[in-house]
Amino acid sequence: MMALRRALRSLWMTPGFSLVAIVALALGIGANTAIYSLVQAIFLKPLPYADSGNIVQLTSSIPERNFNGVGFSWPRWLAVQERQQAFSEMAIAAQTGFTLTERGDPEQLGGMQISHNYFPLLGVAPALGRNFLPEEDRPGAEKVAILSDGIWQRKFAGDPSAIGQVISLDGQPHTVIGVMPASLSSFPLNQTAVFTARPTEVSYLVREQIDGGGFFFNVLARLKAGVSLQEAHEQLSVIAAAYAQAYPSNVDADASADVAYLLDSLVGNQRQTYGVLFAAVACVLLIACANVANLVLARYAGRRKQIAIRFALGAKRRHIISELVAENVVLALLGGLLGMALAASTIGVIVQLGENFIPRAAEVSLDPTVMLFTLGVSLLTGLALGLVSALQVAQPELTGALKDSSRNATASKRQNRVRASLMVTEVAVSFVLLIAASLLINSFMRVQQVEPGFRSDGIFAGALQIPTTKYAVMSEELANFYGALLQELKAIPGAAVVAFNDSPPLSGFAGGSPFAVVGQAIPPPREQPLALRHVISPNSFQTLEIPLLKGRDFDDRDTPSSKPVVIINETFAKQAFPDSDPIGKQIVSGMLQLTQEVVGVVADTHSQDLTTPPTAEMYYSALQRPEGFSNILIRTEGDPLNLTASVRAAINRVDPTVPLTNVTTMDAMVEQSTADRRLLMAMLAAFAGLALVLASLGVYSVMAYSVGQRSGEIGVRMAMGAAASRVSQMVVSQGLRLTAIGLGLGLVVALVLTRLMNALLYGVGASDPWTYLGITALLLVVTFIACWIPAQRAARVDPLVALRSE
């Protein structure tokens, strides 16, 4: 305690030093705390399910068709259930959506249709009411629903009497039998408001799609005690081989059956992204520590005489070392406390910007584990800085210190070497971090320069989920609904062009569908090439300004009772009709292998994301093959969002039970498609900028201290005729020599480490020479300025004053 009291008193007496050190450490520790809070929530915190480490997800893959980690089919689910010996329990679910009516305005809710044992497998139970019963899984059973806590609070005000009440989902009455706990916000349940039974009764599927092996279902399982993931995978491989023989014509006959821990399925390949961020903040902390270590050395040099006197008076070495260590630990703890406050505000911004693509974003917080991490980092930082001081006390030059009567205590050569090493380290580390950030910035700029193939400005976008229990898929009634709504939307003032599109470009909604050309050998669907599939209305291409290259657009001739037609994109035409005009040719497509005539060819667009080259795409008419989901697109001259009220009113005039959801603009959708890249780039750029500032301050402090120490030498040189410019050049060249060494070390490290970032880059290589040249020039300019300022001070030294002080 005595050492702690002395440390606090000593720091209080030097507020300037203490404040600078605390702020520098707070920046480094705060950055680490913010990123660790993300890593801890995403990767390290177990999912909130009973024994979640044994829960796995089963998926299907056909790598040669670019199907990786997709869902399970119903026939495969039955086959695995019958033959597997690796799992104690299996459950199946289908993602869906429900239109809730008769409780205020119609509202679209995220939903899941699950087997009765889905919640028991996860180890969760309703907080109110009961779970599904086995008999409720059977066809024809009473329709029942379990609500999320959020929808229960919002629609029933948290009233327990909700149990037993009837709600209307897609126009069908469902009895509420349970309410899930409020804490249930993790994958795979986090986006779900309503749960119902019988997964095979999802409204968007017909029986042929279910029995044909489509990848529509999500399967969870719990490993038996003593069974490893590898053993489970081997069993699934044997079952998949038997399945392929039993169902050779199914779409998934050639698919492998894969298994992964549920948490791994959630985070996917994001470990590399957060590994880069964690390495970046570690670099920032290292630079901050180097800066503070230089300050500690300078402070110690000024206290050498005081410490030498204490030794001469009998003070024990361990007492002085403990005081110095305590000072640094207190500094680091205060820096950690301030850093935690900085991290709290930073985390809020990161989560807000990345809530749509950061896994488990709602779970990111400064919880006790994160606070413990911050405490640990602070203590280790303080001890490391304390070690710097302790090493100086290890061999005190008592005699030299007591005889030194100069204005500033002269540091030993060993201390100067340490300072120089710290400066070199700061330059090297900041070089690596700046290179990584610059590569991501260049990559993002290349992505932004990609021509998407359509015009996104001035377009309103809003989603429609139409209850297929009321309007059957591909029915005359649904086509009439779209036709009537189209006329109402066209009448809105300011609506220049109106269209429907179930999967606008860059929305990520488009799915792949097999196809083959009529007149050629037609292989089974599982062997056919794939094309992205869209369902659009007339004028969709005009709304998005996608050029029509050949043929015609959809029009009123295309109805459910007319000849089926399709429009293809340029890549599809080149792939399927390389030597002929596709107009008038016929193709078969989809799992049902329906025949359509090609009536138009449009230009390519980037449908999935800007970094993926255009692929084959086909467009069906929403008035001929209508489906239960679509997006309203309206081109307007003013602010697209100003049309929202008018669009809602138009929908209500046609059918007031159909909700309008996800109102946005096409510009916002395009921006959202690169939001993950933008956030990663922004965070790494911020950390790199912080590193650059800290490194430049570090260079300045080393050179300024060096000038202060060498004032006597400089005075002698100037007294003997050295020009001020020569003195300034001497100081700058000393700093640039150390900078050059740091740049050399940083170059070697950067060339090795940035290769690990290849998967995060687009259009630029990890060893892009222009990036390296640019960052080298930037650091040289910054360090030159940092050296030039103290060099000017050296040039203004008065020889008489300097010699008198010596």
Report the Cα 530 to chain-centroid distance in Å. Answer: 28
CB atoms under 10 Å from CB of 80, counted, come to 22
Task: Tell me what pLDDT residue 258 has.
Answer: 94
The domain ranges of the chain are: 1-52+268-405, 74-251, 468-656
Residue 114's nearest CA partner among 75, 145, 87 is 145
| Whole-number percent of the chain with pLDDT over 70 | 91
Alpha carbons 50 and 125: distance in angstroms, whole number: 11
Q: What is the pLDDT of residue 301?
A: 64
Question: Which is nearest to 116 in space by CA: 195, 217, 210, 190?
Answer: 195
* Confidence band for 408, pLDDT divided at 50, 70 and 90: very low
Residue type, 704: A
pLDDT of residue 310: 67
For residues 244 and 417, what is the distance between their CA atoms, to the nearest angstrom?
A: 70
Predicted confidence band at 361 (pLDDT cuts at 50, 70, 90)?
confident
In the chain, % of residues over pLDDT 90: 61
CA distance 475 to 369: 55
Given a cut of 60, whether residue 411 has pLDDT beyond it is no
Burial class (CB in 10 A: 0-12, 13-18, 19+), 797: buried
β-strands 565-569, 586-589 pairing: unpaired
3-state secondary structure 679-720: HHHHHHHHHHHHHHHHHHHHHHHHHHHHHHHCHHHHHHHHHC
Name the 3-class secondary structure at 403: helix
More confident residue, 616 or 389: 616
Q: What is the mean pLDDT of residues 576-604?
A: 94
Confidence of residue 804 (pLDDT cuts 50, 70, 90): low
Q: What is the mean pLDDT of residues 234-239?
A: 96
Q: Does residue 188 carry a pLDDT above 90?
A: no
Q: Which of 225-234, 502-511, 638-647 has the lowest average pLDDT?
A: 502-511
Give the residue, 409 or 146, on which the prediction is more confident: 146
Q: Which whole number is the average pLDDT over 655-678?
A: 92
Mean pLDDT in the chain?
88
Tell the residue number behind the tokens 């590994």, with chain if given: 275
Mean pLDDT of 674-684: 91
**What's the rounded mean pLDDT across residues 29-53?**
93
When comparing pLDDT for 231 and 724, which is higher? 231
Per-residue pLDDT, 65: 77
The tokens of 706 are what? 């060096």
* pLDDT of res. 702: 81
SS3 214: coil
- pLDDT band of 490, cuts 50, 70, 90: very high
What is the mean pLDDT of the segment spanning 755-769? 90
Rounded to an integer, what distance in angstroms lies between the CA atom of residue 618 and that of residue 601? Answer: 9
What is the C-alpha separation between 551 and 601, in angstroms, rounded? 6
Tell me, yes or no, if the pTM score tops 0.75.
yes
* Alpha-carbon span 328 to 309, nearest angstrom: 22
Helix, strand or coil, per DSSP, at residue 589: strand
In eight-state DSSP terms, residue 561 is T
- Of 16, 14, 18, 36, nearest in space to 285 by CA: 36
- Lowest pLDDT segment from 38-47, 357-366, 631-640: 357-366
Average pLDDT over residues 649-657: 94
Q: Does 309 score more than 90 pLDDT? A: no
| Residue scoring higher pLDDT (194 or 397) | 194
DSSP 8-state symbol, 586: E
> 116-130: per-residue pLDDT in tens?
999 999 999 999 999
766 vs 701, which has greater pLDDT?
766
Compare 191 and 544 and report the one with higher pLDDT.
544
Please report the pLDDT score of residue 654 as a whole number: 96
For residue 463, is pLDDT > 70?
Answer: yes
pLDDT in tens, 362-379: 889 999 999 999 999 999
> Is the model's pLDDT at 1 over the cut of 80?
no
Pairing of strands 256-261, 55-62: antiparallel
CB 463 within 8 A of CB 659: no
pLDDT of the residue at 393: 63
Q: Which residues pair with 94 in a beta bridge?
A: 113
Q: Which pLDDT does position 409 carry in this prediction?
A: 45
- Lowest model confidence (mean pLDDT) among 407-421, 442-456, 468-482, 602-616: 407-421
pLDDT digits (tens, 9 = 90+) for 501-560: 999 999 888 888 899 999 998 998 888 899 999 999 999 999 999 999 999 999 999 999
Q: Residues 6 or more apart from 693 whose CB is under 8 A from it?
A: none
Among 551-555, 591-595, 681-685, 708-712, which is the least confidently predicted range? 708-712
- Alpha helices (H) in 62-123, listed in sequence order: 74-83, 118-122
User: What band does 437 get if pLDDT is binned at 50, 70 and 90?
Assistant: very high
* pLDDT the model gives residue 800: 59
Q: How confident is the model at residue 478 (pLDDT cuts 50, 70, 90)?
A: very high
Q: Which two tokens stand for residue 787?
A: 């050296």
Give the residue with greater pLDDT, 399 vs 204.
204
Compare 722 and 635 and report the one with higher pLDDT.
635
State residue 424's pLDDT score.
93
Which pLDDT score, from 0 to 100, does residue 399 have? 47
Each residue's pLDDT tens digit, 197-215: 999 998 888 888 899 888 9
